[in-house]
Amino acid sequence: MQGIEPMVPFNILVLVCLAYVLVLFVVAFVVEHPTIRLRARWLRSPLVYTLSLSIYCTAWTFFGAVGYAARSGLEFLTIYLGPTLVFVGWWWVLRKLVRIGKAQRVTSVADLISSRYGKSNLVGVLVTLIAVTAATPYIALQLQSVTLSFGVFASPVDTFGAPPGKEATALWVAVGLALFTVLFGTRNLDANERHHGVVTAIAVEAVVKLVALLGVGIFVVWGLADGPGEIFARIEASPVSHWTLDPGRWIGLIFLSGAAVLCLPRMFQVTVVENVEESHLATASWAFPLYLALMSLFVVPIAVTGLMLLPEGANPDLFVLTLPLAGGQGALAMLAFLGGFSSATSMVIVAAIALATMVSNHIVMPLWLRMQPSRAVSGDVRRIVLLSRRVSIAAIVALGYAYYRLSGGSSALAAIGLISFVGVAQILPAMIGGIFWRGATRAGAATGMILGAAIWAYSLYLPSFGPDGVISAAVLQDGPWGIGWLRPEALFGIEGMDPLIHALFWSLTLNAMTYCLVSILGFPSPIERVQGAAFVNVFEGGLTTSGWAGGKAEAEDLLILSGRILGEDEALAFFQTEAQAQGKEGFLPDPTPEFLDGLELRLAGSVGAAAAHAMLSQAMGGETVSVEDLVAVANETAQVLEYSAQLEEQSEELSRVARQLHEANVKLTQLSEQKDAFLSQISHELRTPMTSIRAFSEILMEGDVPPDLAMRQAAIIHSEAIRLTRLLDDLLDLSVLENGSVRLDLALVTVQDLLDRALMAASETRPERYFTVRRDLPSESIYVTTDPDRLTQVFINLISNARKYCDASQPELRIVVRQRAGRMIVDVIDNGTGIPEESQALIFEKFSRLTDQNRAGGAGLGLAICREVMANLGGTITYLPGQGGAAFRVTFPLRLQKAA
Amino acid sequence: MDAARLLPVLGALLFLLPMLWSPLPGEEPGRSTASDGLYLSAAWAVLIVVAAVLGPRLVSIEQGKRRPGDVSETDDAGD
């Protein structure tokens, strides 16, 4: 077991790595191919989602956990217990984060925080700086572990110092990782910042990691020992079991790892940004803890066995590799090597993508936008965004490499990881406060994070470079300028605390306190309040930010702007759907507030909320709307809406009444005109006979009139008197009928009888005209109970009217009798020109007479009397239009009951 | 739903329990690391099982709540 030979030449190892990366590349490429992406639904399954979360387990976990266990016993478990609690409690925080992420199209953790605090870029920059600073040692850690594992394979294991070319290896690994990330992470500018290909490749790597670690574990438990029983005994006997559980560290580390799983940019990327469906969280809530449990299952056995079997001084961080090598299991060792390589690459790729998105959206793009002099954004923004991301990725990996060189790659893996965790945990108060507390303000979040990050850097990050690294040993020992209570690892004179817990405690406590205090003392701006409400009440839904009132932008300018960010086709498609939604043809919707909000969200998916907001603001002429304005507008709008609804109702009623009034007025006017006409008519009618009566009676009074002349004159007087009497009779009759005090004499008669009598009587009118009368006698032989005299009067009137007024050269009268539902219907139709439409409403009125022609002594009372008669008989008389002549319809009941 | 909310609290309690029987730093370790490990694994397993049982139910509750509500929200979240 002592001499471990180098198993693989260095260049073969490099080939294996390249081949592995190539496989990942193919996986990612195939998955991103459109046809595959549509077909393979499992790619969007909760399984892939859960596996992609495994980037939490980096090389630090893969190699470092064993080293951690060898040094500190079960304490390494805290790193997994925290995330387990967070995921098991997904209903609290993760679900809300994912929902908000979808609603606001969040692209990164910095975007989330900046969006929450009024799309403030200051906050976004802060989060980005913290994240980049914290991630740098972490990336260095990955480089270190890959370099170490290369060293194990490519050089004699017993020279655990620096194998030749270690720096060169790290550099090549860094360059390779940066290339791979650039190729995959920034191939396109996804509207949702999702990278299906990368996620799937990460899931594959997750499986490799798990299988490798389980393989080594099984080999250790059943290969190097006789099963669980012996391992149990070995654990008891090994120095590992001499660890002591420090309650402060135990609680602190569980809390820290829980915070990290929420705040780490790469974890946020896979958990929230890459989340396809909220329900996947439910699966991940148990499957991810299960994955973590499996990953940690064999850690202690491996550590214990490694300590026992491998020579004194062997690096426990590499037991996962060296144990199979020592056991002669070359293939297993290679698998373990690939597992560690997977852990490192997946972490670096996702972290670099997440951080590059943040750097590009919150630092590069705002700077670039500021440099644009004009309102309109010119140039291809897409290219610039992609370029800035690529450069950011390279820069971030380069930073990691620089840290690796600076720190000398000497510290234990676990320590670096935890330093990084404390850094990102500074985001936690602003994040949790942001999604649960509406009163949180931008100023609070910013000051809290600045203070927390400063304490973290001073008390933990900078000292991690070692004594005299950045902070001099003297300062570490006595504090700056000899002020004891400012010593980086014993702030406020509290000594004896674990440096990590010390930094965690002070930075987070002061961070959270400042955050709360400044938030309470300050007052949120309008956009902050709107965004705060949208975040905190995300489950109530419906609340969206609406700040684009009174925009000046032309739709065409916006189309050009979004074309540069989303791509021409996508922008055109988006504008067309929006235009259709507004009911417009073509590609240019009206720049309504709703449309602008939708556009902003869409752009936010590509360049982040703050940049999208800034771009649209520029396009809109830099107008910003204050909260007070918004609230005032909202109040006014609500009032105006209510008021206008009332007004509308009232005006509708008014116009209805006005219409009725107008109709009534028209009728009244017509009636009044008729009355005037009648009065002059009646006076004329009365006056003419009166004049002749008076004249002839005066002649008669003079006495010397020949008898025959006197006779004639007396006859004239008589006939004129009869005419007067008839006129007066009609008027009387009408007034009686109108009062309803008419007496009806009911009798049983056939319709035929009635019509016969009427025709007979009417034939006296203009007897010189010959009328053809068409009747259907069988249909008329129906017995009815009615007042025969009155009904006959109506028929006489109608028939004589026809005789009087029908202007056809061969006049014809048609009488149609029908029976419908207990009522008789009698139509009297002639073949004349009929009655013009405008007069049809008037003919039944008193005193109406259509023309002066054929005036036959009537005073225009006939039809009015008919109407009143029919009303008294329980029937109606109406004019029937469209019968090819004047047509009247008379309806009356078959059996008229005597009024009680 | 309340069970889902309480689960992490229960988990935290279970995970913090070993502090009770752990000796103060400096004292002679009076307990077995291996059995502590077994205890934590068991607690872990319990949490995983309970979460696995609760997960699908919560999803169906959630979907039942969403479906009769507004469709636009799901549309928006779906793309």
**pLDDT over 50 at A2, yes or no:** no
Asked if residue A161 lies in contact with residue A329, where contact means CB atoms within 8 angstroms, the answer is: no
Asked if residue A124 lies in contact with residue A106, where contact means CB atoms within 8 angstroms, the answer is: no
The nearest alpha carbon in chain A to B11 belongs to A85
Instruction: Measure A86 CA to nearest chain B CA, in Å.
Output: 7
Chain A residues inside the 8 Å CB shell of B9: 89
Q: Mean pLDDT across the stretch A292-303?
A: 88
The nearest alpha carbon in chain B to A543 belongs to B73
Instruction: Measure B37 CA to nearest chain A CA, in Å.
Output: 7
**A33-65, pLDDT tens digit by residue?**
766 655 566 666 888 888 888 888 888 778 888
Chain A residues inside the 8 Å CB shell of B55: 282-283, 285-286
Chain B residues inside the 8 Å CB shell of A245: 18-19, 22
Least confident of A386-400, A749-763, B29-43, B57-71: B57-71
Percentage of the residues of chain A whose pLDDT score is greater than 90: 8
- Going by C-beta distance under 8 Å and a sequence separation of 6 or more, which residues neighbour residue A652? none
Q: Mean pLDDT across the stretch A201-227?
A: 88
- How high is the mean pLDDT of chain A? 79
- B29/A244 Cβ within 8 A: yes
Q: Is A739 helix (H, G, I), strand (E, B) or coil?
A: helix
Highest mean pLDDT among A164-173, A791-800, A803-812, B28-37: A791-800
pLDDT band of A3, cuts 50, 70, 90: very low
- A279/B63 Cβ within 8 A: yes
Asked if residue A391 lies in contact with residue A368, where contact means CB atoms within 8 angstroms, the answer is: no
Residue A668, CB half-sphere, CA atoms under 13 Å: how many? 6
DSSP3 helix / strand / coil % (chain B, rounded to 5): 75, 0, 25
> How many Cβ atoms sit within 10 Å of the Cβ of residue A253?
25
- A102/B8 Cβ within 8 A: no
For A517-528, letters b (16+ CB in 10 Å) and e give ebbeebebbbbb
- pLDDT top residue among A881 and A496: A881
Instruction: Measure B7 CA to nearest chain A CA, in Å.
Output: 6
DSSP A475-533: HHHH-GGG-GGG-TTSGGG--SS-HHHHHHHHHHHHHHHHHHHHHHHS---HHHHHHHH
CA distances from A307 to A221, A223, A314, A320, A372 (A): 14, 16, 8, 12, 62
> How many Cβ atoms sit within 10 Å of the Cβ of residue A251?
16
The nearest alpha carbon in chain B to A80 belongs to B44
- A278/B62 Cβ within 8 A: yes
- Going by C-beta distance under 8 Å and a sequence separation of 6 or more, which residues neighbour residue A844? A863, A864, A866, A867, A877, A879
**pLDDT over 90 at A448, yes or no:** yes
Residue among A462, A457, A419 nearest A60 (CA)? A419
The nearest alpha carbon in chain A to B61 belongs to A279
Instruction: Measure B5 CA to nearest chain A CA, in Å.
Output: 6
**A583-605, pLDDT tens digit by residue?**
666 667 776 767 777 777 777 77
Who among B40, B55, B70 is closest to A282 (CB)?
Answer: B55
CA distances from A806 to A465, A476, A832, A861 (A): 120, 125, 5, 18
What is the model's pLDDT at position A853? 44
- pLDDT top residue among A418 and B28: A418
Highest mean pLDDT among A238-252, A616-630, A677-691, A877-891: A877-891
Least confident of A104-108, A127-131, A839-843: A839-843
Interface check A543 vs B, CB under 8 A: no
Q: Mean pLDDT across the stretch A354-359?
A: 87
- A235/B34 Cβ within 8 A: yes
Q: Mean pLDDT across the stretch A611-634?
A: 58
What is the model's pLDDT at position A550? 47
A24 alpha-carbon distance from chain centroid: 36
Q: Mean pLDDT across the stretch B3-18?
A: 79
- B33/A240 Cβ within 8 A: yes
By residue count, chain B amounts to 79
> How many Cβ atoms sit within 10 Å of the Cβ of residue A581?
12
Q: 43-62 in B: which are within 8 Å (CB) of A?
A: 44-45, 47-52, 54-56, 58-59, 62
Q: 84-113 in A: which are within 8 Å (CB) of B?
A: 84-92, 99, 102-103
Sign of CA dihedral A93, A96, A101, A102: positive
CA–CA gap between residue A179 and residue A189 (Å, rounded): 17
- A246/B73 Cβ within 8 A: no
Query: Which residues share a beta bridge with A772?
Result: A812
Chain A residues inside the 8 Å CB shell of B64: none
Chain A residues inside the 8 Å CB shell of B40: 74, 77, 81
- A236/B32 Cβ within 8 A: yes
What residue type is assigned to position A300 of the chain? V
- B77/A92 Cβ within 8 A: no
- B56/A282 Cβ within 8 A: yes
- pLDDT top residue among A837 and A698: A698
CA dihedral A289, A421, A537, B77 (to 10 degrees): -60
Interface test with chain A among B35, B47, B67, by most A beta carbons within 10 Å: B47
- A88/B55 Cβ within 8 A: no
**Which strands sit side by side in the sheet containing A876-879, from one edge to the other?**
A772-775, A812-820, A823-830, A887-893, A876-879
Q: Mean pLDDT across the stretch A770-789?
A: 86
Interface check A574 vs B, CB under 8 A: no
Instruction: Measure B46 CA to nearest chain A CA, in Å.
Output: 10
Asked if residue A565 lies in contact with residue A603, where contact means CB atoms within 8 angstroms, the answer is: yes
* Phi then psi dihedrals of residue A818, to 5 deg: -140, 165
CB < 8 Å & 24+ apart, contacts of A12-15: A13/A150, A13/A153, A13/A154, A13/A337
> How many Cβ atoms sit within 10 Å of the Cβ of residue A327?
19
**pLDDT over 50 at A411, yes or no:** yes
Chain A residues inside the 8 Å CB shell of B76: 102-103
What is the model's pLDDT at position A585? 66
Tokens at residue A598, please?
A: 């939708």
CA–CA gap between residue A412 and residue A298 (Å, rounded): 20
What is the model's pLDDT at position A738? 74
**pLDDT over 60 at B76, yes or no:** no
Q: Mean pLDDT across the stretch A359-378?
A: 71
The nearest alpha carbon in chain B to A544 belongs to B73
**pLDDT over 80 at A760, yes or no:** yes
**pLDDT over 60 at A859, yes or no:** no
**pLDDT over 70 at A680, yes or no:** yes
pLDDT band of A831, cuts 50, 70, 90: confident
- pLDDT top residue among A408 and A104: A104
Interface test with chain A among B44, B72, B74, by most A beta carbons within 10 Å: B44
Instruction: Measure B13 CA to nearest chain A CA, in Å.
Output: 10
Percentage of the residues of chain A whose pLDDT score is greater than 70: 80
Chain A residues inside the 8 Å CB shell of B25: 244, 246
Asked if residue A338 lies in contact with residue A210, where contact means CB atoms within 8 angstroms, the answer is: no
- pLDDT top residue among A87 and A414: A87
- A88/B11 Cβ within 8 A: yes
- pLDDT top residue among A348 and A376: A348
Interface test with chain B among A84, A597, A602, by most B beta carbons within 10 Å: A84
- A235/B41 Cβ within 8 A: no
pLDDT band of A511, cuts 50, 70, 90: very high
CA–CA gap between residue A113 and residue A434 (Å, rounded): 7
**pLDDT over 90 at A469, yes or no:** no
- Cβ burial of A761 (10 Å; 0-12, 13-18, 19+) is middle
Q: 10-39 in B: which are within 8 Å (CB) of A?
A: 11-12, 15-16, 18-19, 22-23, 25-27, 29, 32-34, 36-37
CA–CA gap between residue A305 and residue A230 (Å, rounded): 11
Chain B residues inside the 8 Å CB shell of A254: 12, 15-16
Asked if residue A69 lies in contact with residue A306, where contact means CB atoms within 8 angstroms, the answer is: no
**A149-161, pLDDT tens digit by residue?**
887 776 544 433 4
Who among B5, B25, B47 is closest to A84 (CB)?
Answer: B47
**pLDDT over 60 at A193, yes or no:** no
SS3 assignment for A253-266: HHHHHHHHHHHCHH
What is the model's pLDDT at position A413? 52
Interface test with chain B among A91, A96, A105, A281, by most B beta carbons within 10 Å: A91
**A253-282, pLDDT tens digit by residue?**
999 999 999 999 889 988 888 887 888 888
CA dihedral A67, A71, A73, A77 (to 10 degrees): -50
- A81/B40 Cβ within 8 A: yes
Q: Mean pLDDT across the stretch A665-672?
A: 88
Interface check A285 vs B, CB under 8 A: yes
- A297/B33 Cβ within 8 A: no
Chain A residues inside the 8 Å CB shell of B33: 73-74, 235-236, 240-241, 243, 300
- Going by C-beta distance under 8 Å and a sequence separation of 6 or more, which residues neighbour residue A353? A181, A184, A185, A186, A195, A198, A266, A269, A393
CA–CA gap between residue A734 and residue A728 (Å, rounded): 10
Region label for A893, one of left (φ > 0), alpha (ψ between -120 and 50) or beta (otherwise): beta
What is the model's pLDDT at position B16? 80
Instruction: Measure B24 CA to nearest chain A CA, in Å.
Output: 7
Interface test with chain B among A81, A88, A594, by most B beta carbons within 10 Å: A88
Asked if residue A217 lies in contact with residue A301, where contact means CB atoms within 8 angstroms, the answer is: yes
Tokens at residue A385, please?
A: 């965004």
